[in-house]
Amino acid sequence: MALFNEVIYTICWNATRGMSPEQDISALLPVAESLWPSISQKVGELAAGSERKRSLLKRTKTLTVTNGTATLDDDVLTAYLEDSTLYDPADLTKTYGWIRNWNDFINPGLSSQPFANYGRYSVSGGVTFGQVEPGAVFDPSSGFTGSMTLNIPCVPVKPATQTTALDVADEILNDIYEIGSEMLRGLLLTQAASQAA
Amino acid sequence: MSTYNDCLRQIAISVNAITGATPALLETSYSTVPLTSANFQSSILPFTSLKDKMLNSQGRIITAAAYQGDHPYRAYLTSQTSALTYGLVIPSTDSGGANQIIGVYGAVRDSSTGNILTKGNLSQIRARVANPGTMFLVDTAQYAIDDRRIYHTTTSVVIDVVTYTRPDADSLTLTNDILLPDDAVPAIVHGALEECIRDDEFVAQAQRFGSIAQQWMTTVLRTGSVDSTSAVMEKVA
C-alpha cells in the first residue's frame, strides 16, 4: 500500500528521469494530481480489459437500496457488471444473477419458475441500480429496502487526504506509476520541445 | 576580525592625513588605537570625512554582495522578514523592524518548518491556493513574487534577506569590527581612496586607487560563485 502523496511524488520523479536535475518537482505535483482522473480511468480500463487483471480491481461496495433501486458510486466500472457479485449481507443463502438488459430485468416472467429461486439485478442509465428479490416482481414503489453488498471492478479512487493509502493492489499500483509518469512525461517533453523551437 | 581602525589608518596615511613629522612620530600616530582627531593633520580631508569615505566604501561592497543572490558575504548581513501570509506586501525592514532590507531576496522558507520553497508560476500558485473542489491534496512548497507582494502555497513564509544600516561616521567606534570579513579590508581601503578627492587634490592618485579598488571588487564579487537553491531557482525561472 502506498500513500496518495507518495504515489504522486513517485509519478513526478519517474516522469523526470533523464531530465535536468534543476527540474522543479514542486511545480509538477499539482500537474500530476490534476491528471489523476485520467490516470485512474486509464489504469482501470486497461486492467479491467485483461481477464487476468480484472479481479485485482474488484472492490466491495455497500449499496443502500430503497424500493429496489440504488445509485452506484462513480468509480464503479459498469461495463464489467457481468463480473460482479451481489449478495445480501443479512442472508447469504439468497442468490442474485446479473441481467444485462433492463427490460429483461423487469420482465415478470423471470419471477416465476424455473427462475423464482433467484434474485436478479441490473443497471439503468449507467448509474441506477435495480434489484429484485427471489420470486418477486419488480415494483419501484414497494421493492426491497435495505443494505446490499456488491463486489465489482472499480477504478482506483483518490482518497480523502494525501496521507491516506491508495486502495489498490500492488500490481495495479505499478500500472499507476507507469501510466501516470508517461502521461506527465509526455507533457514535459512537449513543453521542452516548444521551448527549444 | 578587522576593525574600522585597521581600515582608516591605511586610508589616512595614503592621503598624508596622519600626524608625525618624523618616521617615529608617524609610526606612533599610525599605531594609535583607536585613532582620534588629534592624530590627524590634513586640512584637505579631515578625520570625519575619511571615516565617511571608509563607510561609503564598505557600503558599496555590501550593496554589491547583497545584489548577488549566492554571495558568501550575505552570511555576515543576513536577517529574515517577519512571517508573511499569502499576498502580503514584502516589508522594507526585517522582522525586528529596525534594519532596512537591501539587495535581492534570499531563500523563501516555510515559517514553521523552515523548509525552502521553490519559485513557481503565479497562476499555478493561485490555482493551488484556490483549490476548487479540493482537487489538490498533495502539499506543494512554491512561491511567486509579483511587484512587492509574495504569493505562496503554505500558511506563512519568511524571506532570508540582507539588511544594512550605515554606521554613523560622527559616532563611529573605530575599535568595532567592520561589517564584512577580513578579506574585504583591501577593497574597503582602496574604494575609500578612490573617493579621496578635493578640488584638484589627489586626482591622479584616486584614479590609481580606483583601478586597484575595481580589481578588488571584481575579486570579491567573483567569490559569489557557490551555487545555492535560490540561485538555481533564479536560473530555472
What is the model's pLDDT at position B229? 39
Q: Which residue has the higher pLDDT, A19 or A9?
A: A9
Q: Are residues A119 and A68 in contact, defined by beta-carbon separation less than 8 angstroms?
A: no
pLDDT of B232 above 70: no
Q: Which residues contact B212 (CB under 8 A, 6 or more apart)?
A: B190
For B3, the 3-state DSSP assignment is strand
pLDDT of B226 above 70: no
What are the pLDDT digits (tens) for A145-154?
A: 999 999 999 9
Whether residues B138 and B181 share a domain: the answer is no
H-helix or E-strand containing A71? strand A69-71
Whether residues B194 and B216 share a domain: the answer is yes
For B224, the 3-state DSSP assignment is coil
Determine whether the interchain pair B118/A26 forms a contact, defined as Cβ–Cβ distance below 8 Å: yes
Question: Is residue B235, in this structure, part of any structural domain at all?
Answer: no
Outline where B2-121 has alpha helix (H): 4-14, 23-30, 47-66
What are the pLDDT digits (tens) for A34-70?
A: 999 999 999 998 999 898 899 999 999 999 999 999 9
Whether residues B173 and B158 share a domain: the answer is no
Overall number of domains in chain B: 2
- The pLDDT mean for chain A works out to 92
Asked if the ipTM is above 0.90, the reply is: no
| Integer Cα distance of A134 and A94 in angstroms | 8
Query: For the residues A140-168, what does the mean pLDDT come to?
Result: 94
Q: Which domain holds residue B88?
A: 78-163
Question: Is residue B191, in this structure, part of any structural domain at all?
Answer: yes
Whether residues B156 and B45 share a domain: the answer is no
Sign of CA dihedral A78, A81, A85, A87: positive
What is the model's pLDDT at position B178? 98
What the block records as the C-alpha cell of B66 is 547583497
What the block records as the C-alpha cell of A82 is 457481468
Question: Is residue B32, in this structure, part of any structural domain at all?
Answer: yes
pLDDT of B228 above 90: no
pLDDT of B63 above 90: yes
What is the model's pLDDT at position B223? 58
In the numeric block, the cell 506563512 is attached to B156
Buried b vs exposed e over A21-45: b needs ≥16 C-beta within 10 Å? eeebebbbbbbbbebbeebbebbbe
Question: Is residue A97, in this structure, part of any structural domain at all?
Answer: yes
Whether residues B124 and B198 share a domain: the answer is no
What is the model's pLDDT at position A39? 95
What is the model's pLDDT at position A126? 84
Q: Which residue has the higher pLDDT, A197 or B22?
A: B22
Question: Is residue A136, in this structure, part of any structural domain at all?
Answer: yes
Question: Is residue A190, in this structure, part of any structural domain at all?
Answer: no
Q: What distance in Å separates residue A111's CA from the closest CA in chain B?
A: 45
Question: Is residue A138, in this structure, part of any structural domain at all?
Answer: yes
Whether residues B94 and B140 share a domain: the answer is yes
Question: Is residue A179, in this structure, part of any structural domain at all?
Answer: no
| Integer Cα distance of B5 and B12 in angstroms | 10
Q: Which residue has the higher pLDDT, B228 or B2?
A: B2
- The pLDDT mean for chain B works out to 91
Q: Which residue has the higher pLDDT, B228 or B163?
A: B163
Determine whether the interchain pair A34/B135 forms a contact, defined as Cβ–Cβ distance below 8 Å: yes
Q: Which class for A94: exposed (0-12), middle (13-18), buried (19 or more C-beta within 10 A)?
A: middle
Pick the residue of A3, A11, A12, A29 with the most B CBs within 10 A to test the interface with B by mutation.
A29
Whether residues B13 and B53 share a domain: the answer is yes
Query: For the residues A167-193, what does the mean pLDDT come to?
Result: 90
What the block records as the C-alpha cell of B134 is 479540493
Question: Is residue A26, in this structure, part of any structural domain at all?
Answer: no
pLDDT of B148 above 80: yes
Q: Are residues B177 and B1 in contact, defined by beta-carbon separation less than 8 angstroms?
A: yes
Whether residues B182 and B215 share a domain: the answer is yes
Q: Does B124 touch chain A (CB under 8 A)?
A: yes
| Integer Cα distance of B2 and A23 in angstroms | 42
What the block records as the C-alpha cell of B220 is 570579491
Question: Is residue A18, in this structure, part of any structural domain at all?
Answer: no
pLDDT of B183 above 60: yes
Determine whether the interchain pair A33/B141 forms a contact, defined as Cβ–Cβ distance below 8 Å: no
Question: Could you tell me which of A123, A125, A108 has the C-alpha nearest to residue A61?
Answer: A123
Question: Which range is least confidently modeled, A24-28, A60-64, A135-139?
Answer: A24-28
Q: Which residues does chain B have within 8 Å of residue A4's beta carbon, measured at their own beta carbons?
A: 137-138
| Integer Cα distance of B47 and B3 in angstroms | 16
Question: Is residue B115, in this structure, part of any structural domain at all?
Answer: yes
Whether residues B27 and B91 share a domain: the answer is no
What is the model's pLDDT at position B154? 95
Q: Does B204 touch chain A (CB under 8 A)?
A: no
Strand-pair category, B149-152 with B142-146: antiparallel
B142 conformational bin, left if phi > 0, alpha if psi -120 to 50, beta if neither = beta
Question: Is residue B87, in this structure, part of any structural domain at all?
Answer: yes
What is the model's pLDDT at position A127? 85
Residue where a domain terminates, one of B121, B138, B163: B163
For B194, the 3-state DSSP assignment is helix
Confidence of residue B218 (pLDDT cuts 50, 70, 90): confident
What angle is formed at CA B136 by the lines to CA B132 and CA B137, rounded to 5 degrees?
135
Question: Could you tell me which of A87, A83, A96 has the C-alpha nearest to residue A56?
Answer: A83
What is the model's pLDDT at position B236? 39
Query: For the residues B187-206, what does the mean pLDDT come to?
Result: 94
Residue where a domain terminates, one of B144, B163, B182: B163
Question: Is residue B237, in this structure, part of any structural domain at all?
Answer: no
pLDDT of B149 above 70: yes
**Furthest C-alpha separation in chain A:** 72
Q: Which residues does chain B have within 8 Å of residue A30's beta carbon, measured at their own beta carbons?
A: 124, 127-128, 136, 138, 140
Whether residues B98 and B155 share a domain: the answer is yes
Determine whether the interchain pair A8/B138 forms a contact, defined as Cβ–Cβ distance below 8 Å: yes
Question: Is residue A10, in this structure, part of any structural domain at all?
Answer: no
Q: Are residues B84 and B150 in contact, defined by beta-carbon separation less than 8 angstroms?
A: yes
What are the pLDDT digits (tens) for A84-129?
A: 999 999 999 999 999 999 999 999 888 888 888 999 999 998 889 9
Q: Are residues B165 and B151 in contact, defined by beta-carbon separation less than 8 angstroms?
A: no
Q: What distance in Å separates residue A125's CA from the closest CA in chain B?
A: 26
| Integer Cα distance of A70 and A63 in angstroms | 6
Q: Which domain holds residue A119?
A: 57-153
| Least CB–CB distance from B137: residue in A9, A22, A161 | A161
CA dihedral in degrees (A169, A173, A176, A178; nearest 10)? -140
A74 conformational bin, left if phi > 0, alpha if psi -120 to 50, beta if neither = alpha
Question: Which range is least confidently modeled, A15-29, B14-28, B38-52?
Answer: A15-29
Confidence of residue B16 (pLDDT cuts 50, 70, 90): very high
Question: Is residue B236, in this structure, part of any structural domain at all?
Answer: no
User: Whole-prediction pTM value?
Assistant: 0.78
Question: Could you tell me which of A77, A6, A67 has the C-alpha nearest to residue A40?
Answer: A77
Whether residues B51 and B87 share a domain: the answer is no
Overall number of domains in chain A: 1
Q: Does B86 touch chain A (CB under 8 A)?
A: no
Question: Could you tell me which of A23, A63, A2 has the C-alpha nearest to residue A184?
Answer: A23
What is the model's pLDDT at position B233? 38
Cis peptide before A140 (omega within 30 of 0): no
What is the model's pLDDT at position A31? 92
| Integer Cα distance of A10 and A17 in angstroms | 11
